[in-house]
Each structure stands twice: as C-alpha cells, then as structure tokens.
Chains A and B, each alone.
Chain A
C-alpha cells in the first residue's frame, strides 16, 4: 500500500530536549516536505527536499533541521524545542512537478512544555 508513515503520532516533551520525528514513504517520490498546522494559520511549509541531499527552507524553518540521506526518509529534527513549536506536523511526498499531488502522513501532534 502506498503510504507516508510518520512516527511518533503523539509526543510530549520538555523545552530543550532534542527530538526527531521520522517520515518514510514507499512511493519512490523525489519531493518530500514538512508542514506545521496551527489554528487560523493553515499549513505552513517548514522545509522541503527536491531529492537526496537537496533540501531547502520553507516559510517557517527557524528552530528545525532536516536531512535527506536516502530517498525514502526525511526526518525532522528539533535540536532545542520550545513551547512555540507545539503544533501538528505533517510530512508529505510527491513526484517532481507542480502538477503532482502530495501524499500526506497521518500527522504528529507535538506538545513542548
């Protein structure tokens, strides 16, 4: 089954404790992206990757890191989480090209205390 898998689904942590949210896709997609969803703000792009070893900032990259060492995986790293990073996070993937749809993971709800 074609899917984007995020882990964990729920995470509660404390300020400053490094964490990683994993994302994996099995569709051989080149493009992968991370979004955060906040009430009244919709989805905002954090980082995206056009292919292996190619990543770039989205609209809200501050406080986040990513890496793309393999085509299928695109982890999101919070080196020192802060309460303003409490949000719902989505990973997505697609084929290259603006006409292609994105496939989303089920989301990771993060609370930073």
Chain B
C-alpha cells in the first residue's frame, strides 16, 4: 500500500542554519504531495504542496520539489528562524476509487536563538 517515510526527529538547529527534512513515499500511481506544519497546541496547516512530477512547492521560505525518479519530496529552508519551531508532516493523497491522505510520522524541529 501507499506509505510516507520521513526522517526521525527531533532536529535541533541554530537560527539562520540550513534545514532539510527528508521525505520519501511509495504510491501506485501519481499522488499529490504535501507538507503540513503543526505549531504547539494547534492543528495542522498546509505549508506547501506539489501535484505532479518536477513541481516545486514553496511558501514562507520553505521549498520542496516533487521527484518522481527518487520518490522524494524533501523540505528545505535556507535560513531557519526560532518561529519555525514546530512539527512538520509529509503527506500524500491519491485517487483509487476513493482517496485518503497518508501522513508521515512527523519531524519535530527546534530552532535555537
């Protein structure tokens, strides 16, 4: 079945450091891919998405490129801020008679001033 694997956390970085959070997926067809962010005490909210191969999603300085050849959707940011501290979830959605979202386990990011 479909699945999403993302790197274990927590990830601890200093402010202005470069961030990469790895995400790989397995799917039978052509899924849409998403990154969601969860700030403390809140629900998830969309960070960015990509719906076909080679698409790049971007938002708030974060970027991720849909790589079909490596089945990956890694999240990157050039310079993190303390306010980026949160849990990040990679997810996919695919239609196969019905559609369901599948989430990764989440990666906690802590940015130190």
Cross-interface CB contact of A43 among B32, B41, B89, B98, cutoff 8 Å: B89
Number of chain A interface residues as a range: 20 to 34
Task: Please name all residues of chain A whose beta carbon is closer than 8 Å to the beta carbon of B32 when the two chains form the complex.
Answer: 98-99
Task: Please name all residues of chain B whose beta carbon is closer than 8 Å to the beta carbon of A97 when the two chains form the complex.
Answer: 95, 99
Most buried by B among A42, A56, A107: A42
Q: Binary interface profile of B, 25-41, with partner A (CB < 8 Å = 1, else 0)? A: 00000011010100001
The main secondary structure of chain B at its interface with chain A is strand
Binds A, one of B14-22, B43-51, B68-76, B78-86: B43-51
Q: Does A42 contact B105, Cβ atoms closer than 8 Å?
A: yes
Q: Does B46 contact A106, Cβ atoms closer than 8 Å?
A: no
Bound complex: CA A90 to CA B105 (Å): 15
Q: Does B45 contact A104, Cβ atoms closer than 8 Å?
A: yes
Question: Residue A105 at the B interface, CB < 8 A?
Answer: yes
Cross-interface CB contact of B44 among A44, A50, A99, A104, cutoff 8 Å: A104
Task: Please name all residues of chain B whose beta carbon is closer than 8 Å to the beta carbon of A56 when the two chains form the complex.
Answer: 98
Interface residues of A (CB under 8 A from B): 4, 33, 35, 40-45, 48, 50, 56, 58, 90, 92, 97-99, 101-102, 104-107
With A41-B105, A105-B43 known, 16 other A-B pairs at CB within 8 A are: A33-B100, A42-B103, A42-B106, A45-B102, A92-B43, A92-B44, A92-B101, A98-B31, A98-B99, A99-B32, A99-B49, A101-B49, A104-B44, A106-B41, A106-B42, A106-B43
The 10 A-B residue pairs with the shortest CB-CB distance, nearest first, are A104-B43, A42-B105, A43-B103, A98-B93, A101-B46, A104-B44, A98-B95, A98-B99, A99-B51, A99-B32
